[in-house]
Structure 1
């Protein structure tokens, strides 16, 4: 124990020194930092009086195509005001500095010979064409730029014309397979198979950046499709590392596709592909609009980002509780017990990347320091997320902005969406996150896997995130650049409510923001009728954040909305087998038949041998067919794929919530009614009613009721005579009308 104490002190001293060292590490970033924030103009924003899928999009005013050496539109078509501050990243994309658009020090400086000659606030880049080839070494593709046009004309290797520029301020890319004799002809397309891939990409972002998009990266991600004759388009605005504003993502994707079709005509079909955030973007764009995507291949997907935050923002609260607040902290050092509360996987003995942070913070909080002997998906997958998307004072991208701009800006996902969700009296974006009435660990209590005392103490002390105007920046030092941050306020503990009279207050989300999230299409409600092959590797044993259960949240929402999910195929593969090419082949068969069918019936065109499946590491099908993924999520006996690849849940499912994960704010019932109605199963909580009422003065979640955040017009009535408070709980009414 003395050795651990000495080590913790040593690390703390090193951290203090590292903070001083860090001051000189970001000079290059600061050279191109945003100097001042421009004023946003009132670009057109759709009026969300009903769901976005029922709202007509405005007519395009820009005359596509963008000419060579021209700059594309720098204001969007219908997704609201330009966001400022906005950091230009064309240099990171190997496109050089952006074009000057002002001399008022708005945006980033533009240099010539180390002298500032102007500024760019909207990051415009002139459209240009380059040529690339693809080479394969050790089974890995590499995109190689051909610098000389004459060399391109003589090449014997596969040749691709790459166009890049900016649309909606984001960097777009068009890749077209061509013959060498077509070099110099922008419109040549003889090697194109008439099929188009729209590439989406993932990551976590809160806006304020143009984003990086290197042509070589776009190409290597879809190398096989390019070699097969597909054309590929993409945009940094369709990478969620830079924004989760799905309205802006749709607006941008529509225009990028318009640039393509204005040059080459309409493709036979357009199929989306992309992982994580690039998967959920496909679900939402296809649900919310027509004319962009005809089929989807979401990889490692979630149904959407915003309902993911419901349980993801629980993670640091729970880690804070287990580390600092639990009565018996030793009991929670058994990481497999944490599954009972967190739902997601946790493994004893699994190495924790930032495990050294725990003894530092325990020491600073007055506890005996100890190193963790395991980890969880909550840590391995979601560490830092609460600070990044939920804390307006954090701003992990702040090195790209002057201190003056940093101090003026609220850095959060909620602020990125504030023009849609609204703002509070402090000017901060309204948040949808809520944990009023949530009984963490309820299922474990009912199953007698935790004690009543553990259940009560957890729920009394877990607390919630403080209101945004009370939040403070995390205390972090970066001794080795951005690679090894040392968190001196682990789990955001200084931004978590503390007990008052032994009860830590909970957080109430904004119903206005929740309703706007539904209206503006940020929530996947299952209204999707085009072909979908949802594919993922099984990564639960890696504690990867891309948990298998997310595909089934989407499945349940589709079934609730449409009465079936026959157009929704799920594939789960061993991590050593990549089923993506097979998915493209199946999707091509499906969409080609659909395009040639007079009935236009998605299910009639579906290949007979395309079914839910799981794959072993050699690519062989372990099991396939209806019911292979059955399990707790749909209240059926375990299917063969579910047994082969076990699925985990979330903190809200383990608190009694539904597997569709679609409830922002649960309706409440009095504690007495909860006891009487059997919420606690066979556990007799009648002796604890007073303590439960102290913990849950407003009541506990009634997950048989209707989400208090869902707009009423989306919910069907059992019959025309029912009162407003008797709405049926889960059936979405949105019509299939599309624009």
Structure 2
């Protein structure tokens, strides 16, 4: 992996926001730089200059006041491209052009002042072009099974990269009765088309332009209010249908890829479109299709680039999605900051690897309880799991399937191509470790290095034991019999052990999200309809897990807002709507403050821009908000309404941050237990844990700091 340095400073704000960097000023005279008024500024508006894709880029050239605009020359690789540049609305010195026909690899764009003479300003910018089918930074691509030519997409013939030649455009409209329908092809609008008012106060027909195509081997969708026959918004001229903000949506669940998918995060969303937001997503931003945040980030960057090249730069981009859709937003914002400017999540988790630990624990515990002859009450089981109900483990077991090669394959992958230990040992292994092997590396067998499961040293039920809920004999029998799973998902008597090299990469690259990268300055609003008591695995504890990690990384949580409310009725939609409005306000204030205070640090900008009155809290059944800082294990109003619970690792003594994949070990001591062991019981305990028990006061094995942001992977 290679670290791409991203400067977080006033001059590099554009780079952090994913819109390129200004070119260095001309330095013809040794040791002398032209004053700002005499410099050209050249930057890519559609994405980082070294990560241009698809052969084109939207570029801005700001002309210094010392140069007449008509004397500006712009060239790409020595060829004149001045003709594609036009002045932006209201600013004749901002020239914007969509530059195409970029060569693969390095390209040189130059801006000069025509004429002779010492000291004539000039600037140049290197644009590095990558294929539209990728990759850019994710490394060698896995085998992909195409679906773009099948329902529901039906986009036409695909090539070897699952790409189609051209995007398709269709129109939908919202009826006055609140339905989306296809817009008839004949002239004029239907009589039942609704009229909507955007956040900017513009009243427009509720007609939506939907574009579908392929980018980075994914099917993408964009949607924007637009009436056929009227000008589209572009980089030079805005139109009243778009409020200038892009919302990027992400889908949930977790699947191990190798196929193009049949859904995106969803773009036909009334709450967003009716207010004038543009919406974008792709099939590789749905974790059920592709549970890989690196390729999700890459796809989002590339789709956003295409959107900007089509419609012009957005003011900012808001992430949107629930469950693993929130997970993706947090991981992308931390490891690839600037693709998203703000996170609006629902019922989410901080990352995939640490929540998958719960799935493995639940499968092991459930296997034990199904086989033991010892009587366990429902309350004893619940106490060991830490959840609100004992059946919550059934839901969490969904996660662990992604670590077993024969369980996670999509229907699109032919059975004959899948791994089988006897008939096809070289087939596709549908595991996270193999899908993301560019990150974790491969072992001597060619398999992706295993990050999970690992339960060596874990004392399941330690807290219930000390609380007197379960007996010493129950505790010993459970930990003696719990076992583990091998690399192929086969149950073993031995406990599961992760690969130390893979563990270190998981932390160093940000797959375990410690909130120490871009989340230092990315605002987060996460909402959680409360369903703990129904056994839902989207439990409230995950919100506190995020908060714990942020407090550890930043010392405070000024950039994180958490709301909890009832699980049903109208309040969840109310929370979504209010979260969207609050994030829009937060980012608008931040953008304005950044213009006034260009030297202010990124985190300070975010903290000082938080709207007045925006705070943690919870909502009652009637929609009333209680402003109250979230706190775990404290008696307060929100916790009485919506109690926190825990998980099996917390009940085994793990910290609430939940960020330890493999614990450090220590010799057990009788002083660490609130119960008394007989000598025979103690000898049995030591035999169960010959290498020691978890020392949760120490960092986990391989738990190193984040190496950097915008990492590029080579697959080695």
Normalised by the length of structure 2, the TM-score is 0.74
Measured at CA, do residues 51 and 83 of structure 1 come closer, stay the same or move farther in structure 2, by a change above 3 Å? farther
Structure 1 segment 32-43 matched on structure 2, within 5 A? none
The equivalent residue for 1:391 is 404
- Aligned equivalents of 1:185, 1:295: Cα separation in 2: 23
Structure number with higher strand proportion: 2
Measure, in 1, the Cα distance between the counterparts of 2:346 and 2:439: 28
Q: CA deviation at 1:235?
A: 1.0
User: What is the match of residue 247 of structure 2?
Assistant: 197
1:404-443 → structure 2 map (5 Å cutoff):
404=417, 407=424, 408-433=427-452, 434-443=454-463
- More displaced, 82-91 or 586-595? 82-91
Give, in whole Å, the separation in 1 of the partners of 2:4 and 2:496. Answer: 27
The question of whether the paired residues in 1 share the 8 Å contact of 2:257 and 2:409 is answered with no
**Matching of residues 361-510 of structure 1 within 5 Å:** 376-379=391-394, 381-386=395-400, 388-398=401-411, 400-404=413-417, 407=424, 408-433=427-452, 434-468=454-488, 471=489, 495-497=490-492, 504-510=493-499
Question: What is the CA-CA distance between 1:342 and the residue it aligns to?
Answer: 1.2
Structure 1 gap segments, 5+ residues each: 1-45, 102-119, 348-375, 472-494, 498-503, 715-732
SS of alignment partner, residue 174 of structure 1: strand
1:169-225 deviations in whole A, cap 9, x for unaligned?
Answer: 1011111112354278888743111111111111111011111236xx8244x3122
Aligned counterparts, 1:41-60, within 5 A: 46-47=1-2, 58-60=50-52
The aligned residue for residue 586 of structure 2 is: 590
Q: Contact between 2:174 and 2:193, CA under 8 Å: does it hold in 1?
A: no
8 Å contact 2:451–2:498 — kept in the other structure?
yes
Cα pair 1:343 1:651 within 8 Å, conserved: yes
Helix, strand or coil at the partner of 2:175: strand
8 Å CA contact 1:87, 1:400 repeated in 2: no
Q: Is the 8 A contact 1:133 1:159 kept in 2?
A: yes
Q: Is 1:159 aligned with 2:207?
A: yes
- Per the alignment, residue 226 of structure 2 pairs with 178
8 Å CA contact retained: 2:628, 2:638? no
Q: Displacement of 1:738 after TM fit?
A: 11
Alpha-carbon distance, 1:72 to partner = 7.9
Could you say which residue in structure 2 is the equivalent of 1:133?
A: 173
Which whole-Å CA distance do the structure 1 matches of 2:167 and 2:510 have between them?
Answer: 31
1:424 Cα shift?
2.1
Q: Deviations over 1:626-682 (max 9, x none)?
A: 3xx3233xxxx32211111011111100000011100011110012xx32xx32134
Which structure 1 residue ranges, 4+ long, deviate > 6 Å from structure 2?
49-57, 183-188, 733-739
Cα distance 1:267–1:186, how it changes in 2: closer, same or farther (>3 A)? closer
| Residue aligning to 1:107 | none
Q: Distance in 1 between matches of 2:392 and 2:341?
A: 34
Task: Report how many aligned residue pairs link the two structures.
Answer: 571
1:48–1:516 CA contact under 8 A, matched in 2: no
- 1:696 and 1:409 map into 2 onto residues whose CA distance is 36
Whole-Å separation in 1 of the counterparts to 2:4 and 2:313: 32
Distance 2:4 2:276 in 1: 43
Render the CA deviation track for 1:52-111: whole Å, top value 9, x for unaligned. Answer: 9999994325324799xx998112211111211434244233334442x3xxxxxxxxxx
- How far apart, CA to CA, are the structure 1 residues paired with 2:49 and 2:330? 19
Contact 1:299 1:535 in 2 (8 A): yes
Which residue, out of 145, 150, 153, partners 1:94? 153
Contact conserved, 1:196 with 1:231, CA < 8 A, in 2?
yes
Match of 1:113 in 2: none
Cα distance, 1:566 vs structure 2: 1.2
Matched, 1:261 2:308: yes
Change (3 A) 1:734 1:385: closer
Q: How far 1:506 sits from its partner (Å)?
A: 0.7
Residue equivalent to 2:187? 150
Change (3 A) 1:422 1:735: closer
1:631 aligns with 632
| CA deviation string 1:143-168 (max 9, x = no partner) | 32225153559884311111111110
Give the CA deviation at 1:399.
Answer: 5.7
Whether 1:168 aligns to 2:216 is yes
Matched residues in 2 for 1:346 and 1:290: separation? 37
Asked if structure 1 preserves the Cα contact closer than 8 Å seen for 2:222 and 2:267, the reply is: no
3-state SS, counterpart of residue 165 of structure 1: strand
Match of 1:209 among 254, 259, 273: 259
Secondary structure of residue in 1 paired with 2:684 = helix
Aligned to 2:701, the other structure's residue is in SS state coil
Unaligned runs of 5+ in 2: 9-14, 17-47, 59-97, 102-129, 195-205
Displacement after TM superposition at 1:687 (Å): 5.1
Per mean C-alpha deviation after superposition, the further-off stretch among 307-316 and 423-432 is 423-432
C-alpha distance in 1 between matches for 2:691 and 2:266:
51
User: Residue 285 of structure 2 aligns to a residue in which SS?
Assistant: strand
Q: Name the counterpart of 1:218.
A: 266
2:546 and 2:645 map into 1 onto residues whose CA distance is 15
Q: Residue 341 of structure 1 contacts residue 441 of structure 1 at CA under 8 Å; is this kept in 2?
A: yes
SS at match of 1:453: helix
Distance 1:196 1:399 in 2: 31
Conserved? CA contact 2:456–2:496, under 8 Å: yes
Matched, 1:695 2:688: yes
Q: Distance in 1 between matches of 2:312 and 2:416?
A: 47
Determine the C-alpha separation between the residues in 2 that align with 1:523 and 1:668: 20
- Equivalent-residue separation in structure 2 for 1:310 and 1:513 (angstroms): 15
> CA offset at residue 243 of structure 1?
1.4
Task: Provide the rounded CA distance (Å) in 2 between the counterparts of 1:426 and 1:567.
Answer: 44
Give the C-alpha shift of residue 323 in structure 1.
0.9
CA distance in 1, matches of 2:442, 2:710: 31
Aligned to 1:612: 616
Q: CA deviation at 1:268?
A: 1.6
Q: Distance in 1 between matches of 2:608 and 2:445?
A: 54
Question: Per the alignment, do residues 202 and 129 of structure 1 end up closer, same or farther by CA in structure 2, a change over 3 Å counting?
Answer: same
Q: Does 1:580 align with 2:561?
A: no
Structure 1 residue 587: Cα displacement: 1.2
TM-score of the superposition, structure 1-length normalised?
A: 0.72
* SS at 1:443 equivalent: helix
Aligned residues of 1:51 and 1:519 also touching (Cα < 8 A): no
Aligned 8 A contact 2:226 2:232 in 1: no
2:384 maps to which of 341, 347, 359: 341
Q: 1:738 and 1:136 mapped to 2: Cα distance?
A: 48
**Per residue, is there more helix in 1 or in 2?**
1
